Amino acid sequence: MKRIVSFILVVLVTAGVMLGTSPGLLKNIRLGLDLKGGYEILYEAEPLEQGQQVTKASLVQTAKSLESRANALGTSEPEVTTEGTNRIRLKLAGVTDEAEVRAKMKEPAVMTFRSKAENDKEGEYTKIELRGNEFVENGAKVVFNQLNAPMIDIQVKDKAKFAEITKRLIGQPLAIYLDDQLLSAPTVQQQLSDGSAQITGNYSREEANQLRDTINLGALPLKLTEKYSQSVGATLGKLSLDQTIKAGLIGSVIILVFMIGLYRIPGIIASFALITHTWLVLAIFYMGEFVLTLPGIAAFILGIGMAVDANIITYERIKEEMRSGKSILSSVKAGGKHSFRTIIDSNITTIIAAAVMFFLGTGAVKGFALVLIFDIVTSIITNIFFSRFLLTLLVRANVLKKPKYFGVKESEIRAL
């Protein structure tokens, strides 16, 4: 009696948790571009001038800069990642003006020193005095004044030229721009002949570090070439999502009906374990903030097909033990024990294949492999341990008394 109560309790609680959290999970899982529409570009970065090298730091800087640009363009959740030694992958969802985004992304961040031209309005400076390539590469650093306020120190390549400019502009502002954004416009107090200039402003230490990084990037702009691009219309993405989910539901229903038809009550337990498995994978995606892509969903659906394997192996084994004349409880025990090693061995080999895909693959392949790995690991938890736990509870509660509940006919059982 106690066991049947705990069985019902476990099932009800699990079902309750799944029902309660599923709507939130489904709504909040991050979908890939192929499912919600958007734009993906893979850039290869090259140094702008010959003889230079693309360093890891410059690549990360370029990626950061791309991300802030994408943010500035108002795209939601841009995803920028570096790949290998010289690649940057950019994913933008819901972009309306692709051409504008593409153009904006490729402009290198250029720092300029500007002075006021004749027709400039107040606070506007258009006469360019110095350009990005006239600053010392990676020469910007954060320094602190007497008040311990951070400022950014920049080095100019041509000291004489800078001296000339500062001499000419004494008493006037010399504005420092990053692309078209005014950083600061200090007034020149005296002629600067040592080739260094400071950007002051009300910066926090963090902001000052960021600005230094951006300026260094401007001084070492990487040239970006598009190597691969994919754009998916929002309607098309939605269509793919709907179709694939529909395919998944149909496939799952057939599999569940098949399992119940073949293994009766254990089949129902297996079906419940499968649903728990699906929920668990979704929960992992939600918590890990992984992005679900179309190949990911495909892996997911295939995973259901493969996850039942653990149950099939176990149940076949239990049926065999029963036919050989063992009692139901010892059949369940022996079946579970004997099938365990087989299931682990066969799953590990599949994990090896998936792990290789994950490490060698890019983009969609990586996503697929990741889902497959999660699928296998959670399947071991739900379709071996959880479903066996439920089955043992029922058997010990003496609910499953007859072999026919397992799909075994009395006539098949060999007399001892």
Give percent helix, percent strand, percent coil of the chain, each to the nearest 5. Answer: 60, 20, 25
Whole-number Å distance between alpha carbons of 23 and 5? 28
User: What is the enclosing helix (H) or strand (E) of 121?
Assistant: none
CB closer to another protein, 146 vs 411? 411
Q: Which of 199, 313, 318, 395 binds another protein (CB under 8 A)?
A: 313
Q: Which of 49, 124, 158, 412 binds another protein (CB under 8 A)?
A: 412
CB closer to another protein, 179 vs 316? 316
* Residue 73 binding another protein, by CB under 8 A: no
Q: Which of 60, 248, 333, 377 binds another protein (CB under 8 A)?
A: 248
Q: Which of 302, 377, 381, 397 binds another protein (CB under 8 A)?
A: 302
The count of residues interacting with another protein (CB under 8 A) is: 74
Whole-number Å distance between alpha carbons of 239 and 407? 41
* Residue 375 binding another protein, by CB under 8 A: no
What is the 8-class DSSP label of residue 416? -
Q: What is the DSSP string of 286-327?
A: HHTTPEE-HHHHHHHHHHHHHHHHHHHHHHHHHHHHHHTT--
Give me the least distance between CB of 11 and another protein, in Å please. 23
Whole-number Å distance between alpha carbons of 98 and 209? 31
Q: Which of 281, 364, 394, 395 binds another protein (CB under 8 A)?
A: 364
Given a contact cutoff of 8 angstroms between Cβ atoms, the answer to whether 281 and 300 are in contact is: yes
Give me the least distance between CB of 213 and another protein, in Å please. 29
Return the residues of window 114-143 that contact another protein according to CB under 8 A. Answer: none
CB closer to another protein, 67 vs 309? 309
Which of the ranges 134-142, 145-153, 163-171, 240-248 carries the binding residues for another protein, by CB under 8 A?
A: 240-248
Given a contact cutoff of 8 angstroms between Cβ atoms, the answer to whether 265 and 395 are in contact is: no
Given a contact cutoff of 8 angstroms between Cβ atoms, the answer to whether 318 and 393 are in contact is: no
What is the 8-class DSSP label of residue 110? -
Return the residues of window 322-361 that contact another protein according to CB under 8 A. Answer: 338, 341-342, 345-350, 352-357, 360-361
Q: Which of 228, 288, 398, 404 binds another protein (CB under 8 A)?
A: 228
Q: Which of 309, 333, 334, 381 binds another protein (CB under 8 A)?
A: 309
Whole-number Å distance between alpha carbons of 212 and 328? 72
Return the residues of window 83-112 that contact another protein according to CB under 8 A. Answer: 98-99, 102-103
Neighbours of 373 (CB within 10 A): 19
Return the residues of window 198-227 that contact another protein according to CB under 8 A. Answer: 225-227
272: left (phi over 0), alpha (psi -120 to 50) or beta: alpha
Backbone angles phi, psi at 381, to 5 degrees: -65, -50
Q: What is the DSSP string of 249-278?
A: HHHHHHHHHHHHHHHHHHHHHHHHHHHHHH
Give me the least distance between CB of 220 and another protein, in Å please. 24
- Among candidate residues 124, 175, 184, the one with its CA nearest the CA of residue 151: 184
Please give the single-letter amino acid code of residue 42: L
Q: Which of 284, 365, 377, 413 binds another protein (CB under 8 A)?
A: 365
* Residue 280 binding another protein, by CB under 8 A: no
* Residue 46 binding another protein, by CB under 8 A: no
Give me the least distance between CB of 146 and another protein, in Å please. 51
CB closer to another protein, 12 vs 353? 353
Which of the ranges 2-10, 61-69, 232-240, 395-403 carries the binding residues for another protein, by CB under 8 A?
A: 232-240
CB closer to another protein, 7 vs 39? 39
